Structure 1
Amino acid sequence: MALTLVRLLNIIIAALLAGVSFGIWMGFNPLSLSPSTYVEQQQNMLGGLKVLMISLVFIATLITIVSAFLQKKNKPVFIVLLIAAVFFIACILITRFGNKPIDDVVMTWTADALPDNWTALRDKWWSLHIMRTIAEMIALFLVTWASIRKN
């Protein structure tokens, strides 16, 4: 029963994390936005999702590792879940060392006073976000596969 609950929570948390990121990827492409719209949208998104996304990625990582160790006798599942955890850790590292420094700068901007390099920062953030989303989607696939496969 406990393992079933851990597997279910693992899928749900991983799906929420990947789903939010995928929704941002599909619905908030900033490349065609005006400077003022970009600043307003990005600052709103960062302010609204920061705590949620940090919480989800840490919980997803932790529960994936717990799930792996609960199933360590099943080597294929154990290894797949550890690989999924590595993808979640990659998301944390991409965010911490890639997106977050840019986020911190963007939060200081005003729509009428953007730096000359604002589009370069926007594009770099967007590329990092896509990388992070792909890593989350791979982790979700691995977690789901490990949870539904027949032994």
Structure 2
Amino acid sequence: MNRSILGFANLLVAALVIGTAFGIWLGYDPRGLSAAAWVEQQQHAIAALNTSLPALGAFTIALTLASAVLARGDRRAFALLLCACTCFVAVGLVTRFENQPINALVVRWSPSAPPPDWAALRDRWWHWHELRAVLGVAGLSLLIAGQLALAKRA
């Protein structure tokens, strides 16, 4: 595959995934929502995003790894892309082992009767989301820097 096309696809897909996480962080802070409002909001988000975003995230990791492999002749770009890939893998691990288990519980709740510990689970979910948003923005920044380093070399 042409390195320019790969780089474009890599940047596009990563920006879609990380932009979504950033938008959720920016606009959907759950503190202050009632239990019913938060459960309904979360259930709608889970239905819309719980399958598509992890799939796009996995595609982002694969594209970033492929970009790094093709950039191995340029030490700076290779290192930046490998670090970006590491950040994206960390985002995926946080999602899979922290956020998604909470999502699996929330989808079964009734908005009018959430469990007594709903706020603790909400706060835990939000904590992990904030971490993955930071890791994602760091990864996207590294990816952009790596792709710019490759473009400068060409």
Give the TM bin, normalised by the shorter chain: over 0.9
The whole-number CA distance in structure 2 between the counterparts of 1:99 and 1:78 is: 30
Alpha-carbon separation, structure 2, partners of 1:35 and 1:105: 14
**Does the residue aligned with 1:72 lie in a helix, a strand or coil?**
coil
Shift of 1:56: 1.3
> 2:91 aligns to what?
91
CA shift, 1:70, in A, is: 0.7
In structure 1, the partner of 2:118 is 118
Give me the whole-angstrom Cα distance separating, in 2, the residues matched to 1:135 and 1:65. Answer: 17
Unaligned runs of 5+ in 1: none
Deviations 1:3-29 (A, max 9, x none): 011111111111111100011111111
Correspondences of 1:7-22 after superposition (within 5 Å): 7-22=7-22
> Over residues 47-91 of structure 1, what are the superposed CA-to-partner deviations in whole Å (9 max), with x where a residue is unaligned?
101122111110110000000001111111111111111111101
1:31 aligns with 2:31: yes
Q: How does 1:6-85 map to 2 (within 5 A)?
A: 6-85=6-85
Q: Which amino acid aligns with 1:54?
A: P
Instruction: Give the Cα–Cα distance (whole angstroms) in 1 for the partners of residues 130 and 53 of structure 2.
Output: 15
Structure 2 partner of 1:146:
146
Higher mean Cα deviation, 39-48 or 75-84?
Answer: 75-84
Letter in 1 for 2:117: N
Letter in 1 for 2:41: Q
2:82 is aligned with what amino acid? L
Instruction: Give the Cα separation in 1 of the matches to 2:143 and 2:7.
Output: 8
Show structure 2 runs of 5+ residues with no match: none
Give the Å deviation of 1:148.
1.3
SS in 1 for 2:141: helix
Instruction: Name the % identity.
Output: 36
TM-score (norm 2): 0.95
What's the C-alpha RMSD, in Å, of the aligned pairs? 1.0
TM-score of the superposed pair, with normalisation by structure 1: 0.96
d(CA) in 2 for partners of 1:45, 1:37:
12
> Could you tell me which residue of structure 1 aligns to residue 106 of structure 2?
106
